[in-house]
Structure 1
Amino acid sequence: MSSDHSLSSAIKGQPRTVWITAFAAVVAFMGIGLVDPILHTIAEALDAPPNKLTLLFGVYLGVQVLAMLLTGVAAYRFGPKRTLVTGLICIVIAAGVSTFASDIDQLIALRVIWGLGNALFIATALAFIVGQARGGQQGAILLYEAALGIGLAVGPLLGALLGEWSWRAPFGGTALLMLAGAILCAVMLPPDGPISDRPKVTLLDPLKALRNRNLAINSLASAFYTGALFTVIAWAPIAMGMRPINAGMVFFAWGVLTALAGVFLAPGIARAVGDRGGVIGAITAYAVVMALAGVGVAIDQVWLICLAVALSGIPSGVLNTLFTGVAMSAVDAGTPRSVASAGYSFLRWMGGAISAILVAYLADWFGAPAPFWFAVGYCALAVVALLVAHGRPSRALPADAVLVGAEEF
């Protein structure tokens, strides 16, 4: 799925609905890294301590953990288009009101609404793209990965450029872009079909899927890796302490490398050593760059932290593409792939949420380099879990396998 020819083929001749959904996906993913370049500025403007700043990510992810159990039910009861548009409206409201927040607690509360909206959107956006795209599932997923990568790269850059003017400006800019996406999706996407045509999903189905030992262990491995990932996203901006434009350029490089590695590097690695071998190698590489960041903080060399953050995008891109396939290879034949994927995503997001909340306390208890050294430990635990799990050989996933799982980053 993974050649340049496949990417160029996937771009050609796509219907309008695919491009509208992809545009909204880019803006939604921009919201993940939007806050990174302005964290230091928010801290100064609102007199916010580090443990409150990292909650901007912790509550955002925590809500998504719970929402992973709700999105399937929402799509069943209300239809995927209504679910998608509702998610976009939640993001518009949260981002718009954030522009006028007067303290850090208000921003944290608004990120709860933002996280819920993002979960409702991303859990259904891929289903739309896969269902509407021409050229098959693989090209559709490639388009989705491209939208993810563009959003991850542009989000920090937009946050940096607007953040040079005011920390409030990036929130207002995102609200306007997402409002445009919401209007386009509401007007131009096809209407929802009858409820009877959709499979029934309950809240507990994703958790029941985790009774499968190998799926649960692989999901825990993903949770440990995501904990390391959100050490970079939530703590690196504070550790760097840079003005928005400089921090934004670092995270822009991170996003670009994530996108390029996911689309072009990961498939070649999978062909060479398999999905499982590629994931283990990428997590090991992630541990190395986390150690590099820890050394940078310890010797007070900001350039070294910046280099580690940017380079971490390469293993992250590989893991975006390969990790879900490794986890899904352990799914029982009788378990719907979308349900198993929701259970997998539930544990993975939980790892990120816990890490984003914990990093400030680790730094307070053990010193500023500690979050990165703990991230090294998370990576080691992830590798151990992958070695313990004995799933069936990885195979290509059908469309519903990526309905909830492929939105990770």
Structure 2
Amino acid sequence: MNSEPGRSLNAQYQSAKQPVVVWVIFFATIISFMGLGLVDPISPAIAQQLDATPSQVSLLFSSYNLITGIALLITGVVSSRIGIKWTLLTGILFIIVFSALAGSSNGIWQIVSFRGGSGLGNSLFIATALSAIVGLAIGSTAKAIILYEAAIGLGISVGPLLGGELGSISWRGPFYGVSVLMIIAFLVLLLKMPRVEKPKVKSSILDPIKALKFPGLFRLGLTAFLYNIGFFTLMAYAPFVMDLDEHGLGYVFLGWGLYLALTSVFIAPKLQVRFGTVKSMCAMLTLFAFTLLAMGIWTDSKTVIIVSVIIAGLFLGTNNTLITTVVMQVAPVERATASAAYSFVRFIGSAVGPLLATKLAEAYSSAVPFYTGAVFVFLGVLVVAFGRKHIAHVDQISGHS
């Protein structure tokens, strides 16, 4: 940002020296990602009460992530025509409606379908929110992304706790909870977010696909595809082997999410400065892969599974900030386009992970999904390590900021 916008926004600064609009989007992002974590504690309850298999319940994650990923290809088209504010509001509106419909459903396939609708809303929101925070925040791109990742971490950490409390009343509660919270986010954005100028050049649906021709961005997307299979093996499948009630699952994923939030803000920047992006990413992904491996070896130990899930938040939070920071700088394309391209590939992996994990468990044993997830994450490490020449230059550009 140049000095003129900085002066015009000066009156809106809060103690952290960010415009009010950035904090509005930050708040809405927290609520949006609470919707993802809310489902975790109720997965076993849905399977039991609706007479569904774990693989059918896993489709609550897979349908949501698949539609999110595919729809991310159109977010730039939409936001460049109706503007950032109305793209965010439209996405939130979809989430409000489809979350309420999921809560009103009486069968697993209805819920799966409505979760897909929520995924459409999520796609409009998340890519636009990231580019908006990066574009409107004061300071470096890295610091803006840390703010965005902190919002994700807070949402993911608080979501399971609220989901456990509401889910202990009824499995429908978390879906209605998401709807109510997003109504609050909708009203806050509607009233507090100013109109942001539309881009001068309208985006094409092919822009994110074309952006993947840049080797650095493609490799980061492929890495995210691979490690998100492991990520969602842990998130969607682990609740079925913990043997905990809704409250217990809520507290476990609260710990996981808190570690994810704290490391994304405080640890990732320090590691990037000390060791550089590529080495830090490889280290975090390797540690996460070993965590999944331990979960496979000691699947019968509830204590090991619980501790492993919580510890995994340390590695995932750090890696998420590192990889997102690089994505926004690695290719000579608009930030929104880079975000959409990367997230498109990443969410496809997020859709594969839950279904693959539960199918493997049903076909073989409860340990196989964790072993498989570890293998995919290790492959992600290799993609980063052997593609470092396309990524490492970002450290020199940013000066480790």
Both structures adopt the same fold (TM-score exceeding 0.5):
yes
Alpha carbons of structure 1 residues 130 and 344: separation in structure 2 relative to 1, 3 Å: closer
Q: What is the rounded CA distance, in whole Å, between the counterparts of 1:397 and 1:72 in structure 2?
A: 29
Matched position secondary structure for 2:394: coil
Q: Does 1:117 align with 2:121?
A: yes
Q: Deviations over 1:47-100 (max 9, x none)?
A: 111111000000100011111101000001111111100001111111112221
* SS of the residue 1:200 aligns to: coil
8 Å Cα contact 2:133-2:148 kept in structure 1: yes
Whole-angstrom CA distance in 1 between matches of 2:283 and 2:313: 14
How far apart are residue 303 of structure 1 and its match?
1.3
- Superposed CA RMSD in Å reads 2.2
**Partner in structure 2 of residue 309 of structure 1:** 309
**Aligned AA (2:289):** A
Structure 2: stretches of 5+ with no match in the other structure: 1-12
Note if contact 2:65-2:348 (Cα within 8 Å) is conserved in structure 1: yes
In structure 2, give the amino acid aligned to 1:303: T
Please, what TM-score do these two structures have when normalized by structure 2? 0.90
Per-residue CA deviation, residues 261-286 of structure 1 (Å, 9 max, x unaligned), is 11111111112211000000001000
Give the AA of the match of 2:99: A
For the pair 1:22 / 2:20, whether they are aligned, the reply is no
Shift of residue 396, structure 1, vs aligned partner: 6.1
> Are 1:329 and 1:393, in contact at CA under 8 Å, matched by a contact in 2?
no
Aligned length: 385
Aligned counterpart in structure 1 of residue 343 of structure 2, from 300, 323, 345: 345
Contact 2:131 2:339 in 1 (8 A): no
Instruction: Tell me what 1:142 maps to.
Output: 146
Letter of the 2:241 counterpart: A
C-alpha separation between the residues in 2 aligned to 1:77 and 1:301?
53
CA separation of 1:178/1:325 partners in 2, compared to 1, >3 Å: closer, same or farther?
closer
Matches within 5 A, 1:277-288: 277-288=279-290
CA deviation digits over 1:107-163, x for unaligned, max 9?
101101111111111111233334444456554433322211110100000001111
Which of 235, 249, 252 lines up with 1:250 in the alignment? 252
Q: Secondary structure at the match of 1:54?
A: helix
Shift of 1:204: 1.0
Which residue of structure 2 lines up, in the alignment, with residue 360 of structure 1?
358
Query: Structure 1 residues 327, 190: CA separation in 2 closer, same or farther (over 3 Å shift)?
Result: closer
Mapped partners of 2:26, 2:216: distance in 1: 33
Would the alpha carbon gap of residues 11 and 19 (structure 1) be closer, same or farther in structure 2, given more than 3 Å must change? Answer: same
Tell me by how many angstroms 1:212 deviates: 2.8
Report the AA paired with residue 323 of structure 1. Answer: I
Q: Deviations over 1:212-265 (max 9, x none)?
A: 334323321221011110111110111223200001111000000001111111
SS in 2 for 1:317: helix
Separation of aligned partners in 2, 1:392 and 1:306: 34
Aligned CA distance change for structure 1 residues 135 and 347 (closer, same or farther; 3 Å):
closer
In structure 2, relative to structure 1, the CA distance for the partners of 1:137 and 1:392 (3 Å cut) is: closer
Q: Would the alpha carbon gap of residues 257 and 10 (structure 1) be closer, same or farther in structure 2, given more than 3 Å must change? A: farther
Equivalent pair of 2:127/2:339 in contact (CA under 8 Å)? no
Q: Which residue of 2 aligns with 1:51?
A: 55
Q: In the alignment, which residue of structure 1 is the partner of 2:318?
A: 318
Aligned-pair identity (%): 37
Secondary structure of the residue that 1:190 maps to in structure 2?
A: coil
- For residue 328 of structure 1, report the CA deviation from its aligned partner: 5.6
Question: Counterpart of 1:204 in structure 2: which amino acid?
Answer: L
Q: Deviations over 1:295-327 (max 9, x none)?
A: 232xx2111111111110011011111113445
The one-letter code sitting in structure 2 at the alignment partner of 1:258 is L
Match of 1:407 in 2: none
Q: Distance in 1 between matches of 2:242 and 2:121?
A: 30
**Unpaired stretches in structure 1, ≥5 consecutive residues:** 1-8, 400-409
- Residues 264 and 304 of structure 1: is their aligned pair in 2 closer, same or farther, counting only changes over 3 Å? same
